[in-house]
Structure 1
Amino acid sequence: MASESKHRTGLFALGIELDGADHHPAAWRSRVQAAENAGFTFATIRDSIGPGPGERLDATVRAGFVAATTSTLGLVPQSAPTYAEPFHLSSQLASLDYASRGRAGWLAVDDPATARTWGATPRETDAEIRRERVDAIEVARRLWDSWEDDAVVRDYAAGKFLNRDRLHHIDFIGETFSVQGPAIVPRPPQGQVVVFGYGAAGTEGLDVALVSGATLTETRSAIDNARAEGVSRVLVDLEVTLDTPAELTALLTELSAYADCVRLRPAVLDEDLPVLARYVLPALLRAGLAHRPVPGSTLRSNLGLPRPANRYAKELAR
């Protein structure tokens, strides 16, 4: 394997997928708080829109529910633009960023099967599905920038709340939808919510690409491929199946030389999370490989991502 895979951006972040069988709000709060106390940088939350016995509130709503009970954990709900309207989804995610004080992310996925049950027109080809996802990410990013940072004036004496010159139409026309804007929520605290996605589906528009491999060699190759596409951060998606905490710690130590982040997917969350919190994360923290987020930090800062400039403010400054 070429040596260029030995490259990461500085911070090594640890995430966890927090989905189990329990649907009760108390169970959700308990898991999220356990992940935060353990020192995880972020948690992803799977969506559940389709019918069936496992139905529950969608991921963005659940993330908003636990936002007020956390102070450092990034909250990354999964949502598929194949059924979620981009305008409304971008508003939900911006609101989550405010509720969490800058700790929101978005795992953008493809889910054409759920689109059918949702009543949306299904996309038939991989190219159509990918185009809709890429367009939805672009629309969300434009909407988050449609309010400049100083658009809200709050001049109560003058009776002025907004500077209308700091709001912008985005005028997006795509193959399956068009959006004029501006957004109905001010620009998020992070400027742009952090966008995650699966690298195998394409990295266009992503801040963080999730990759995986059956072997370490395949994983390193996937990391190299994602970096070659220009994505800012590469995350290894790792199912927790190793027999001992020491084995997992050793694997994460090796991956830390190549990847920017790892997301752990425990096989049995309620059994594995206490083990991760008691043995694995403390070992990585002691070794200086991982870092514990501090209150007041944003998800962007904990991933080593800068706060982006507003595209419309930049255009006007030319």
Structure 2
Amino acid sequence: MTSNSSTHPGNRGLLLLDIDGPGSHPGADRAPAANVAAALTPGYLRQAVQAAESAGFHAVTFPDPGLPEDREPEKIGRLNALHRAAFAGPLTRSLALIPEVDTVYTEPFHIATQLASLDYVSAGRAGWLVTASPHAADAAAVGREPVSGDRLAREAADAIEVGRRLWDSWEDDAVIRDVPTGRYLDVDKLHYADFEGENYSVKGPSIIPRPPQGQLPVLVPAGLLEAEALATGAADALLVSAPTPELLASEVSATRAGLAASLPSGGAGPALIVELDVILDSRGQTAAERLAALEEHATWVSPHARFAGTAAELTGLLAELLTVADGIRLHPAVLDTDVEELSRVVLPGLRRRDLLAPTTPDATFRDRLGLSRPASRYAAAAIQGATS
């Protein structure tokens, strides 16, 4: 496992934006001026990620469209999260790109190699938002029985471990391109992952050279992984939710305290990133009026706290949360409308208070999280063996 490092409360934090089609509210496609067909096009995605970068967000996340049991049917036509993140790679320079990828119904070897490719496409700005679906429709799509409970947590932890081993399976200098001898690789610097899990085994090595970051940052919803996996460094960041905005700060503090009790003495835990649904006063309508209009078409059911109010009020709330959390992920109800207010009022307000980390072009996602680039575990083991 890679070692973790978390920013500390009081440091300047990160802002992440979730890009979910026309918006996170299931009725976003019915909002004024909404164009569902356009929301499924490359041009819309290009506009969305470039607007997020121009506004000063540090990262964007891409939820997976899922299957009908899990998501609205009209969203099934989207490309999956990894494809959208890869498309956004060449279009951006400072945004971290974090696709949501399921660990239970996707082959771990494929996850690891596709994410490594994304890290190359984005020049080291890729991350992985881990999910573990309990839905029967997702299981049926790949011919498996649904997974739940402790087994869901174990499979998620296994998939993360496989990914980390495969990313390390090529040493950094494994590609030698030795023209005189006709060798592209030094085969002694490729290693077997040799993972044996409860439901599968993975031999390796990867088919992709080691990613630019060495190890991609892994984001995991708080509560998904067991304490043992967190203690051994499975997650680089945890996404923290609460029923209401007023409870978020105490939930962050409780999560941090729980981590401190389970981590090795002196170990730095994962960063803590707050989850918040957002709908703002905009274009002559109050947030309450906008929400009521959207709720006429569909009910917004979400595990996240929800803020509805003015951009100035949201700025104050985020400022308070950034004193205890390392970052915040915002889920705008209607992407175009709410990002307009976030860009115009909220992010400038937080920067005036010096609460946000800088958005340096070409910085890696690990840089953003304050994580050093780790050596391959297999290279380190070989060096240790040679000197012992």
TM range, smaller chain: over 0.9
Partner of 2:347: 281
| Deviation at residue 229 of structure 1 after TM alignment | 4.2
| Deviation at residue 7 of structure 1 after TM alignment | 4.3
| Deviation at residue 20 of structure 1 after TM alignment | 2.4
Alignment check: 8 A CA contact 2:271 2:326 kept: yes
Give the secondary structure class of the aligned counterpart of 1:201.
coil
TM-score by length of 1: 0.93
Give the secondary structure class of the aligned counterpart of 2:79.
coil
Unpaired runs of 5+ residues, structure 1, are 1-5
**Corresponding letter in the other structure for 1:293:** T
Unpaired runs of 5+ residues, structure 2, are 1-6, 23-38, 264-268, 279-306
2:241 is the counterpart of 1:194: no
Match among 324, 327, 332 for residue 258 of structure 1: 324
2:350 is the counterpart of 1:317: no
Separation of aligned partners in 2, 1:243 and 1:273? 14
**Pairs within 5 Å for 1:1-318:** 7-8=8-9, 10-21=11-22, 22-51=39-68, 52-55=73-76, 56-113=78-135, 114-202=137-225, 204=229, 205-213=234-242, 214=244, 215=247, 216-230=249-263, 231-240=269-278, 241-318=307-384
Alignment check: 8 A CA contact 1:14 1:41 kept: yes
Cα-to-partner distance string for 1:130-182 (whole Å, 9 max, x where unaligned): 11111000000000000010101122233221111110001101011100000
Give the secondary structure class of the aligned counterpart of 1:68.
helix
Alignment check: 8 A CA contact 2:94 2:362 kept: yes
Cα-to-partner distance string for 1:223-250 (whole Å, 9 max, x where unaligned): 4334544432111111222311111111
Cα-to-partner distance string for 1:176-218 (whole Å, 9 max, x where unaligned): 1100000000010000111001012126311110012231333
Partner of 1:3: none
Give the secondary structure class of the aligned counterpart of 2:358.
coil
- CA separation of 1:122/1:67 partners in 2, compared to 1, >3 Å: closer, same or farther? same
Give the secondary structure class of the aligned counterpart of 1:206.
coil
- CA separation of 1:11/1:160 partners in 2, compared to 1, >3 Å: closer, same or farther? farther
Alignment check: 8 A CA contact 2:15 2:59 kept: yes
Cα-to-partner distance string for 1:45-90 (whole Å, 9 max, x where unaligned): 0002425432121100111011111111000000111111000111
- CA separation of 1:268/1:224 partners in 2, compared to 1, >3 Å: closer, same or farther? farther
- CA separation of 1:65/1:105 partners in 2, compared to 1, >3 Å: closer, same or farther? same
Separation of aligned partners in 1, 2:63 and 2:145? 21
Alignment check: 8 A CA contact 1:209 1:226 kept: no
More displaced stretch, 201-210 vs 7-16: 7-16
More displaced stretch, 194-203 vs 298-307: 194-203
Separation of aligned partners in 2, 1:202 and 1:43? 23
Q: State the superposition RMSD in angstroms.
A: 1.8
Aligned-pair identity (%): 44
Cα-to-partner distance string for 1:34-54 (whole Å, 9 max, x where unaligned): 001111111110002425432
Partner of 2:300: none
Separation of aligned partners in 2, 1:140 and 1:173? 13
| Deviation at residue 302 of structure 1 after TM alignment | 1.0
TM-score by length of 2: 0.77
| Deviation at residue 117 of structure 1 after TM alignment | 3.6
| Deviation at residue 9 of structure 1 after TM alignment | 7.9
Alignment check: 8 A CA contact 1:235 1:262 kept: yes
More displaced stretch, 174-183 vs 104-113: 104-113
**Corresponding letter in the other structure for 2:251:** E
Alignment check: 8 A CA contact 1:192 1:308 kept: yes
Q: How many residues align?
A: 313
More displaced stretch, 265-274 vs 143-152: 265-274
Separation of aligned partners in 1, 2:142 and 2:159? 18
More displaced stretch, 224-233 vs 247-256: 224-233
- CA separation of 1:310/1:148 partners in 2, compared to 1, >3 Å: closer, same or farther? same
- CA separation of 1:88/1:264 partners in 2, compared to 1, >3 Å: closer, same or farther? same
Separation of aligned partners in 2, 1:136 and 1:31? 30
**Corresponding letter in the other structure for 1:256:** L
- CA separation of 1:312/1:11 partners in 2, compared to 1, >3 Å: closer, same or farther? farther
